[in-house]
């Protein structure tokens, strides 16, 4: 059943609208719509349907996230003939979204803007807790490693991944990408107290690529493997030789970047919370 729109609206020729949203991925089955109806896309489509008073338009996102993965700024675009001011979209959609999702901004964009294909890069961050005690208050928001980690070794290993490589050793078996070649622009490791932060930026990522990379960096950090092992994995092009896939807990889609002409906000207040987790001490 479709609810009546939250406010009166007018219609015009279809135009393209972009949204910036954040979500805690713990209870969602990833971004892409599922038969269970428990994907992020399912909830956003339902909110749009109820707010607009008509079936939701097709949605395109900047980057599909796996089950359990969080987002500080997912960008979505769709076409609509409904003419509303930006704050009405924010207020209206948040009224119908679950509490672990929020729309941060809404803005008209050019007709040729594409949330996925217009993205120049995509950025992710992993927050990992190093402690003999498992997470409790920060459960699901951080990954967990109970063994001490070596900063210098992980930085060395991460630096070997930067550049254009065949990342076959770091892609999921079910990855559907046509090519395993990706350009990893950034792989950084920082620490604050018991929390580690791993930052990655690339033109695009393969399925489970970051989770598989992190499993390898953790193996290097705890002394199981040397940093040079990463070179061997790149050369081998075999997923079977790499470390197990790390849990999605603590993985955040920081967001895409776009050309300046697109005027897309690259930060929401959700980033502030992630930064606070690993603030300098």
**Per-residue model confidence as pLDDT tens digits over 222-236:** 999 999 999 999 999
**9/117: higher pLDDT:** 117
What pLDDT is attached to residue 281? 53
**Per-residue model confidence as pLDDT tens digits over 82-126:** 999 999 999 999 999 999 999 999 999 999 999 999 999 999 999
Name the active-site residue from 42, 66, 249, 262. 66
What is the band of 3 on the pLDDT scale with cuts at 50, 70, 90?
low
Burial of residue 268 (number of CB atoms within 10 Å: 0-12, 13-18, 19+): buried
What pLDDT is attached to residue 272? 87
Q: What is the pTM of this model?
A: 0.92
What pLDDT is attached to residue 9? 54
Is 66 known to be catalytic? yes
CA 26 to each of CA 40, 163, 195: distance values in angstroms, whole numbers, following the listed order: 11, 31, 19
How much of the chain exceeds pLDDT 90, in percent?
84
List CB contacts of 103: < 8 A, sequence separation 6 or more. Answer: 19, 20, 21, 89, 90, 93, 94, 97
Q: Is the pLDDT of residue 217 over 80?
A: yes
């Amino acid at each position: 059943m479709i609810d009546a729109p939250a406010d009166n609206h007018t219609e015009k020729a279809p135009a393209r609208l972009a949204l910036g949203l954040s979500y805690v991925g713990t209870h969602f089955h990833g971004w892409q719509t599922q038969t269970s109806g428990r994907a992020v896309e399912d909830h956003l489509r339902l909110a749009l349907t109820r707010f607009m008073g008509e079936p939701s338009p097709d949605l395109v996102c900047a980057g599909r996230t796996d089950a359990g993965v969080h987002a500080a700024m997912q960008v979505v675009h769709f076409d609509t003939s409904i003419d509303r001011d930006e704050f009405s979209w924010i207020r209206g959609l948040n009224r119908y979204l679950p509490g672990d999702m929020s729309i941060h901004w809404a803005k008209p964009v050019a007709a040729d803007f594409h949330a996925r294909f217009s993205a120049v890069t995509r950025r992710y961050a992993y927050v990992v807790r190093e402690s003999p005690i498992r997470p409790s208050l920060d459960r699901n928001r951080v990954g967990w490693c109970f063994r001490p980690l070596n900063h210098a070794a992980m930085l060395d290993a991460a630096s070997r991944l930067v550049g254009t490589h065949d990342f076959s050793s770091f892609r999921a078996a079910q990855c559907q990408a046509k090519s395993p070649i990706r350009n990893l622009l950034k792989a950084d490791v920082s620490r604050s107290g018991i929390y580690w932060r791993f930052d990655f930026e690339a033109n695009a990522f393969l399925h489970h690529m970051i989770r598989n990379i992190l499993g390898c960096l953790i193996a290097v950090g705890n002394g199981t493997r040397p940093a040079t092992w990463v070179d061997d994995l790149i050369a081998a092009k075999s997923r079977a030789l790499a470390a197990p896939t790390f849990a999605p807990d603590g993985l955040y889609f920081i967001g895409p970047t776009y050309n300046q002409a697109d005027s897309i906000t690259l930060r929401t207040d959700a980033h502030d919370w992630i930064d606070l987790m690993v603030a300098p001490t």
